[in-house]
Amino acid sequence: MAGNRRHTLAAYGMAALWAAAAQAQDTAPLPSLPIRTTSYMVGVGPTRLLDTYLSQEHFGGTGFTFLSATERRRQPSARWSTLMEHQAGLATLNDRADRTMELEGSYRLFWGRLHEWRLLGDRLSLQAGGMGAATLGFVYNTTGGNNPAQARAAIQVMPTAAACYRFTAGRCRMAVRYELQLPLLGLMFSPNYGQSYYEIFSRGDYDRNIVPTTMASSPSFRQQLAVDIGVSRRLVLRVGYLGDYTQARVNQLKQHTYTHRLMVGVVKRFQILSYRP
């Protein structure tokens, strides 16, 4: 009987310790988890293009853009964030006489780090930092010829600034965000004046085809203006404008692409949980 009583008391003691540990775990504050904000947007608008390697004529038309942006913080109160954006576009263009058509396509990857300052009771946030950008693209002239297409490839370092103001309109929570990137320096691919792609890739005749660029030889900038509208607790609608202005003058050739897009999409925000079996 004494042995059974000792076993019973031990069992009760273990159960009490288990319950106390579980209660302490439940009442302990949860650690701050990484938070990620992702937006998906599509847009349409005019494109203006000049590439003197293909033609001395200016082209204009309508283009479409897909933009995905993800901002990640180690915790909600973190001042540093990582921003990644994917941008893909396609446009069909005609010359001013409407006799020649060109097709332009591009993909751009942006990655950077931003520091945030919060003002006005966290309603206003200012961010500044730097981003790297990689671009791949093409321009195809449908009239053919010896050089009917132009390839585009570039990498750039871009100082970046952003501002976001949060407010409430009635019962609707809203935010206005502006973002600006200015390419500072980089490298780009370009054939030289009068040089064919056959000479570059088949004969291996390199002629300064990888060109350093600065704000002087490639004055460009990119800007975004967006309004976030809280439709429900789980759905945020984003409407905005994307302006992308790229130009360069290298190897005695000139090129520019000006795009204006009316964008619409959705925004999602969630915390990342680590799973441990």
For residue 13, pLDDT beyond 80: no
pLDDT in tens, 210-226: 999 999 999 999 999 99
SS3 per-residue string spanning the chain? CHHHHHHHHHHHHHHHHHHHHHHHHHHCCCCCCCEEEEEEEEEEEEEEEEECCCCCCCEEEEEEEEEEEEEEECCCCCCEEEEEEEEEEEEEEEECCCCCEEEEEEEEEEEEEEEEEEECCCCEEEEEEEEEEEEEEEEEECCCCCCCEEEEEEEEEEEEEEEEEEEEECCEEEEEEEEEECCCEEEEECCCCCCCHHHHHHCCCCCCCEEEEECCCCCCEEEEEEEEEECCCCCEEEEEEEEEEEEEEECCEEEEEEEEEEEEEEEEEEECCCCCC
pLDDT for residue 34: 85
As a whole number, mean pLDDT of residues 110-129 equals: 95
pLDDT for residue 199: 87
User: Band of the pLDDT at 77, cuts 50, 70, 90?
Assistant: confident
pTM of the model: 0.84
Q: Is 262 left (phi over 0), alpha (psi -120 to 50) or beta?
A: beta
Q: What does the block give as tokens for 263?
A: 């964008």
Q: What sign does the CA torsion over 139, 142, 143, 144 have?
A: positive
